[in-house]
A and B are shown apart, each in its own frame.
Chain A
C-alpha cells in the first residue's frame, strides 16, 4: 500500500474520485438487478423507476468527468495516481454504457405478454444472474484492488458468451413455433444481446483494473465462447 500524499487535499481528491466510481458502480449494479427482475416478472410498473435511475448514473458520469479534469489540471498525477485517474475515466464510461443497456432492457418489458412461458425465460434469467455476478465481482476487485479477481472476471466472460448463445437459441426456438410470437420475441433477442454487451463492458472494466494495479495490459486474447452471428 502506498504512503499518503504530502499534500493532504490531493489524497482526499483521489479518494473522493474512487468513492464516486464505487457509488456509480453500485447504482449501476442495482439498476441491472431491477431491470432483470422487471423482465423475468414482466413487471411493467417498475419500468419508469429504472429509466429514472439511469439519469442518476449519467449524472455521476459527468460528476466524475469534472473531478478527473480538475485533478489533471491541479495535480498532474504521475504513476499510480495517473493510472488511478485514467482508469476512473474509463471505468465510469463503461458503467454508463452498462446503465444504458439496463435501461434499454427495462423498456423492452412494455411489449411483453404477461403469460410468458417459464422455459423461455429460464435461460435469459441464468444469463442475467451471471452478468450481475460478473459486475458485482469486478466492482469488488476495484474496491479491493484485487488483480487476480479482476483477471478471473475477464476470463469468465467466455461463460457469458456461451449462455448468451443458449438463451438466444431458446428464444429463436420459441419464435419459430408460432409467428404470433415474433413481435415480443424480437425484444427478448435484443435484451439477450444487451446482456452480452454489458458483459463486454464488464471485461473492459476488468482490463482497466488490471492496468491500474500492475501498470501493464493483460496479455493474450481473452477466452471467447460461442458467438452469435451479427
Chain B
C-alpha cells in the first residue's frame, strides 16, 4: 500500500456565503491514481483546485482546514504558490494549449521556472516530456507548428506534456477526456497508467467506467461532502454507502 502524498483534514471551502466543501478528510496515495466522482456541483473540482491553490484566483473564495503535501501545509499564507504549482500540475477538461508552437508550449514552463538554461537543455526537456506524454512520434517533425493545430486528443496530450515538463510530483486532471473521442480517450488512459509510476495523480471524471479503468482509489462526493472513499474495485462492485450505490448505478433522483 502506498503512502499518503496528500492529506486533507477538515477542509472547508466557501464561495462567498455558499459553502462548497464540508469537512473533507481525504488521503491521496503516492504514485497512485485517485478518481473523484459525483454529480456536477458536488465539490470534486473545488477539491482538486485546493491542491494547487487555484481557488486563490477567486476573490470571494475562502478555504479553512488543512491540506498537506508530504506533511507540509499548503494553505500557509507564506507559501510560494508558484513553486507549489510547479510541484502540482494540472490538466483541464478542454485542451488549452498556448497559442504558440508545440515546442514553446512545452518549453515555456521550464523557462519561467528556470529549469532549462540552454537551448540543448530545453530541447532535451521538450523531447522527454513529449515522449512521456506519448506524443513525440506524432509531432517530432513539426515542433515549430502551432499547438492549436493538433487534433483534440493530441492537444490534450500536449497539455499533459506541458504539465510534466516542469517535473511535478502531482498531476491533477479535471475531466481530461470529456472532450475527446474514444481512441484519444484510450490513449490518455494508457498514458495515465504509465504516468502513475512517476506521479501522484488525481482525476475528476464523470465516466464511471473510466474511474474503474484508471484508478486504484475512488472518492464519491455529494453536495460538498465526501460520502465514501475506498478501493476502486470495492466502490464499484459493492459500495458501503447507499448514496454511492445510487449514484454509480444511475439511481439518483
A positions within 8 Å CB-CB of B:
2-7, 10, 75-83, 214-216
Interface size of B by Cβ–Cβ distance < 8 Å?
16
Number of A-B contacts (CB under 8 A): 45
- Docked-complex contact A79 and B236, CB < 8 angstroms: yes
* Besides the known contacts A5-B251, A82-B236, 19 further A-B residue pairs in the complex with CB atoms under 8 A apart: A2-B245, A3-B246, A3-B251, A5-B249, A5-B250, A6-B253, A7-B250, A76-B208, A78-B208, A78-B236, A78-B248, A78-B249, A79-B236, A79-B245, A79-B248, A79-B249, A81-B249, A83-B238, A216-B238
CB distance from B231 to the nearest CB of A (A): 13
Give CA–CA (A81, B245) in the complex, Å: 9
Residue of A nearest to B239 (CB): A79
* B interface residues with partner A (beta carbon < 8 Å): 208-209, 236-239, 242, 244-246, 248-253
Whether A6 contacts B236 by the Cβ 8 Å rule is no
Return the chain B residue nearest A78 by Cβ.
Answer: B248
Q: Is the interface of B mostly helix, strand, loop or mixed?
A: helix
Chain A residues with Cβ under 8 A from B245's Cβ?
Answer: 2, 79-80
Best-surrounded residue of B209, B236, B248 (most CB of chain A within 10 A): B248
List 23 A–B pairs whose Cβ atoms lie within 8 Å, in order of A's numbering. Answer: A3-B246, A4-B251, A5-B249, A6-B250, A6-B251, A6-B253, A10-B250, A75-B250, A76-B209, A77-B249, A78-B236, A78-B249, A79-B236, A79-B237, A79-B239, A79-B244, A79-B249, A81-B249, A82-B236, A82-B237, A83-B237, A215-B237, A216-B238
Query: What is the chain B residue whose CB lies nearest that of A77?
Result: B249
Set of chain A residues within 8 Å of B238, measured between Cβ atoms = 79, 83, 214-216
Known: A76-B209, A78-B208, A80-B245. A2 touches B251 (CB 8 A): yes
A187 to B180, CA, bound (A): 64
What residues of chain A lie closer than 8 Å to B250, measured between beta carbons? 5-7, 10, 75
CB distance from B38 to the nearest CB of A (A): 14
> Nearest Cβ distance between residue A111 and chain B, in whole angstroms?
49
Of B208, B238, B242, B244, the most chain A CB neighbours within 10 A belong to B238
List chain B residues, Cβ under 8 A from A80. Answer: 245, 249
- What residues on A are CB-neighbors of B244 within 8 Å? 79
- Give CA–CA (A216, B249) in the complex, Å: 18
Which residues from chain B contact A5 at a C-beta distance below 8 Å?
249-251
